[in-house]
Chain A
Amino acid sequence: MSWLIESLLAGWLLSLMSGPLGSFIVWRRMAYFGDTLAHSALLGVTLGFVFDVNLNLAIVLCAVFVALILASLQRQHFIPSDTLLGLMAHTTLAAGLVTISQVDSVRIDLNAYLFGDLLAVDRQDLLFMSLGCVLVLAVLSRMWRGLLATTVSEELAQVEGYPVARLRLLFMVLLAVVIASAMKLVGVLLITALLIIPAAAARPFSQGPKQMAILATLISMVAVAVGLGLSYQFDTPAGPSIVLTSALFFLLSQSSYRLLSRA
């Protein structure tokens, strides 16, 4: 039973970060960008094994590195953004899969990294997630206005004197921390879902950006609890169960909003 509480705790810590950050991803139309970083996380895991560094740290570093490459390539405009993202997402995933097969010192359960593994969440992960959560929330509350201003219009924000380039980098680092935290719970392939679905579900009932971030967090927390409960009850994989529950909430939110606005 204690593992259930531990994974619930981990899921809630994740929700506290993914609610606000996922809202930014939706506002900035960066869902595919987040997905690309998430795909690169597997490469981070392998590199962590090879160089024997803390896996969470390795994932964060790898994701930030990929984000920087993406940002510099996007600025050059030689291929369309979506092509570039698709290219990077699957190249890094493939590189992760290939290198992981070459690491024979450790038996790695690939499924756990692709789709998440509840039982793999240990005390050390919880500690990392708590630290990550404090960091992400502290930075977000300090930089909220700047991040929102650059989301609305980078040019306007730059003229007004916001440190646009620094804020962009900061956002990527935060995103990398969330991805590293989410990896154990939902896996590489489903991280983006956890970021964007609760935010999308929160949208119809939000009158302001802060409200939407908070609502997305709450929806995500409920989805984690319900998803884990269902997974325990019916012996389904935890990550996908959580994602399905959030998707259900999204459907409910959309349809109830439509019904309400028609009435």
Chain B
Amino acid sequence: MSDYLIKLNKVSLTLQGRSILKDIQLTVRAGEIVTLIGPNGAGKSSLLKLALGLHPVSSGQRICLPNLRIGYMPQKLSLPETLPLSVKHFLQLARGYHKSQLMNVCQRLNIEHLLKRPMQRLSGGELQRALLARALLSKPELLVLDEPVQGLDVSGQSELYHLISDLKDELNCGVLMVSHDLHLVMAATDKVVCLNGHVCCEGHPQTVQQDPSYLELFGKSMPAHLAPYTHHHDHTHGEHCDHSHESSHQPGDKS
């Protein structure tokens, strides 16, 4: 028995003579959230695609459990306006799911009211949830998320990260995701891999945060007003909470 879901063993990716990724070692286990962070062009999305098997590796090995069920949430969709596609149509394109599951997933993600809405008329947050729902339909053992919180405001981001963390426990799946911001994912991640063409450092988020190579990539360039947001909510929101109190403590607002 192997304890990993997927393992990248010393993989490299070279595109048109340019080295994108070099000697990457990456393992994702069940019940674990692994977050990739790194500056733009660090190869985060490329690494996800290698892990998904969408790109062949230039060298090294990609080993995954046989018949591993993967749920993938892409960064965005570019749907043409000419395609009339409701959220329901979109979800029904998922493969090998049970009919009853569709409603369960939609209830869990709170998107039942969106089912008839055209995909092109969703807001950023609604689209993320629709994409996440599609990824969940296959009952994934491994969930791969490419910048899942992109385009959301701070409260929306932390909400979605909590949701992902909860879903991980419910499904007992492994999660591999890309994020821009370490501070927001910290609470919801077990392992951080800091990437810049190669693995700069990795480990528990607290440890990575102290790592010199992390500080070199992120620390110095971070302006004061983006200082770590350490306030943690110690209460849970009711279902119809309007979040109006969120505005009273923005990051950097040390009240």
Contact B79 A207, beta carbon cutoff 8 Å: no
Contact B138 A26, beta carbon cutoff 8 Å: no
Complex: chain A residue closest to B116, CB-CB: A207
- Residues of A within 8 Å of B84, CB to CB, are 203, 206-209, 211-212
Contact A159 B70, beta carbon cutoff 8 Å: yes
User: A-side binding surface: helix, strand, loop or mixed?
Assistant: helix
User: B-side binding surface: helix, strand, loop or mixed?
Assistant: loop
B98 on the A face (CB < 8 A): no
- Residues of B within 8 Å of A152, CB to CB, are 77, 79, 83, 85, 90, 93
Contact A153 B74, beta carbon cutoff 8 Å: yes
Contact A200 B93, beta carbon cutoff 8 Å: no
Contact A155 B72, beta carbon cutoff 8 Å: yes
A148 on the B face (CB < 8 A): yes
Contact A159 B54, beta carbon cutoff 8 Å: yes
Identify B89's interface contact among A153, A157, A160, A208, CB under 8 A. A208
Complex: chain A residue closest to B93, CB-CB: A149
Contact B86 A207, beta carbon cutoff 8 Å: yes
A49 on the B face (CB < 8 A): no
Contact B54 A151, beta carbon cutoff 8 Å: no
- Residues of B within 8 Å of A211, CB to CB, are 84
A65 on the B face (CB < 8 A): no
Identify A156's interface contact among B74, B86, B92, CB under 8 A. B74
Identify B82's interface contact among A162, A203, A207, CB under 8 A. A203
Contact A159 B83, beta carbon cutoff 8 Å: no
Complex: chain B residue closest to A206, CB-CB: B84
B66 on the A face (CB < 8 A): no
Contact A208 B85, beta carbon cutoff 8 Å: yes
- Min CB distance B20 to A, Å, is 15
Tally of A interface residues using CB under 8 Å: 27
B52 on the A face (CB < 8 A): yes
Complex: chain B residue closest to A148, CB-CB: B93
CA distance A39 to B80 in the complex (A): 25
Most B CB within 10 A of own CB, among A29, A155, A156, A162 = A156
Complex: chain A residue closest to B146, CB-CB: A155
- Residues of B within 8 Å of A258, CB to CB, are none
- Min CB distance B76 to A, Å, is 10
- Residues of A within 8 Å of B138, CB to CB, are 160
Contact A208 B86, beta carbon cutoff 8 Å: yes
CA distance A159 to B50 in the complex (A): 11
B55-93 with Cβ < 8 A to chain A: 70, 72, 74, 77, 79-80, 82-86, 89-90, 92-93
Complex: chain A residue closest to B75, CB-CB: A155
B106-160 with Cβ < 8 A to chain A: 134, 138, 144
B24 on the A face (CB < 8 A): no
- Min CB distance B43 to A, Å, is 17
B94 on the A face (CB < 8 A): yes
Contact A209 B95, beta carbon cutoff 8 Å: no
- Min CB distance B159 to A, Å, is 24
Contact A209 B89, beta carbon cutoff 8 Å: yes
Chain B residues with CB under 8 Å of chain A are 49, 52-54, 70, 72, 74, 77, 79-80, 82-86, 89-90, 92-96, 134, 138, 144
Top 4 A-B pairs ranked by shortest CB distance?
A159-B72, A149-B93, A160-B95, A27-B83
